[in-house]
Homo-oligomer: A and B are copies of this chain.
């Protein structure tokens, strides 16, 4: 990464940003254990830094315990204590289940609103990972410029300028999207809600990843549908073979839709390989099963190579793509979208009867922002923040959690999936952790069949601080003492 790409954190001196970048290279294994880091002179020349800044960066890494100084020789990457294995492919039950995760979710969300609790619970990064000041300035500007807009009904399917920007971004990825099929929604949740209700009726079976986002399971529950959990791997995501087997199985004919997050699924962080993504589209096409793609984490890849949505391989207009700015740009704007494909008219009707139009002010603000070059710079910074934090949290888990623990190694997003030794009960652990003012998301939340009782999800969206480090250490001890 060149110095030009370096976007400083607010209130963070340059040397820490440089340290973060080196830290990431180490976490990703590009600088291996035992390897020598660039010297102060090399670093300052390569990155066009002062020698003082370069030295400060290396010393910061030393304080973090990531590198060690060897006299007369330089800085070397320290041996990691050990490397925990990834979780294995999930093996959910083969039958569809009615869903009942709501009560756990309600407690999790309540705890997430408590400022005294260390928030590893909900998947929510720090507000200042986002360009809040710039966006609020755009919002204030929109309020002044479009002074009539609060007095008028907003267009039901969204601001044309924003729909254009969204279509344009997909076009840049090579995904052909007609502006006319973009429906602006109140966040990704409304997009998922509209998509699911458009293609399936109560009683229908919906194929989902296992584990999967609890909001999706609650949505399926509230619609009186049933979730069929499909085996999913922490790195490669949903198993297309397993889905094919389910479609050929006893409940196959009742599967109306498959809801998948191909890129950086929540909670696993998995990324389906490109061939698997293509195969998934073909499989759903063959079985005439609607494919709902949750693309909310797509922009958050650590490598800066945004995965292409499965929608790209859709020939029949049957993929419904749900997206949002909630993770990538503006969690509080509540602006998402649905690319409705051939379901456009049905989706529009449901949007009208669900909430009519979405308020325009943030649609204007985001559309104005997207016309500038700022978004690319922000994304580069956000990706680095996510990558650094995920690596650091994973390291802390390796260091502090007991033997037998497995942890995901995602290539994007900002959550970790931790499989604890068999017999650990994360619902019981949850009570003890909350008592210590530590929040996390217990595993059973992510299953319609009560699985993953020995698993938990960690939100890595909180800036690394001594308090966070201490909380992770304490959590590891709680697991250990069972």
Q: Which residues of A contact B (CB under 8 A)?
A: 102, 105-106, 109, 113, 122, 124, 126-130, 132-133, 135-137, 139-140, 143-144, 147-156, 185-187, 189-190, 193, 197, 201-202, 215, 218-219, 221-222, 224, 326, 330-335, 345, 348-350, 352-362, 365
Contact = CB atoms under 8 A, between A and B. Distances in A.
B102 A130 contact: no
Nearest to A192: B353
A359 B330 CA distance: 11
A409 B104 CA distance: 53
A307 to B, nearest CB: 24
Contact of A332 (B127, B132, B151, B330): B151
By secondary structure, the A interface counts as helix
Contact of A130 (B128, B151, B359): B151
Contacts of A345: 106
B147 A353 contact: no
Q: Which 8 A-B pairs have the closest CB atoms?
A: A127-B151, A186-B355, A140-B140, A132-B151, A130-B151, A190-B355, A219-B353, A334-B359
Given A218-B349, A349-B222, A122 B354 contact: no
Contacts of A350: 222
A355 B190 CA distance: 4
A59 B183 CA distance: 51
Nearest to A123: B153
A149 B147 CA distance: 21
A275 to B, nearest CB: 33
B122 A150 contact: no
Given A143-B136, A156-B109, A189 B353 contact: yes
Contact of A189 (B135, B335, B354): B354
A152 B332 contact: yes
B150 A128 contact: no
8 contacts: A124-B153, A189-B352, A202-B224, A215-B352, A215-B353, A222-B349, A222-B350, A335-B359
B355 A334 contact: yes
Contacts of A122: 153
Interface centre among A139, A148, A156, A355, by most chain B C-beta atoms within 10 angstroms, is A355
A378 to B, nearest CB: 11
Contacts of A155: 113
A358 B334 CA distance: 7
Given A222-B349, A359-B362, 6 more contacts: A124-B153, A126-B151, A130-B151, A139-B143, A154-B334, A189-B354
A180 to B, nearest CB: 13
Interface centre among A126, A353, A359, A362, by most chain B C-beta atoms within 10 angstroms, is A353
A237 B356 CA distance: 26
A365 B139 CA distance: 13
Contacts of A186: 186, 355-356, 358-359
A136 B133 CA distance: 18
A254 to B, nearest CB: 16
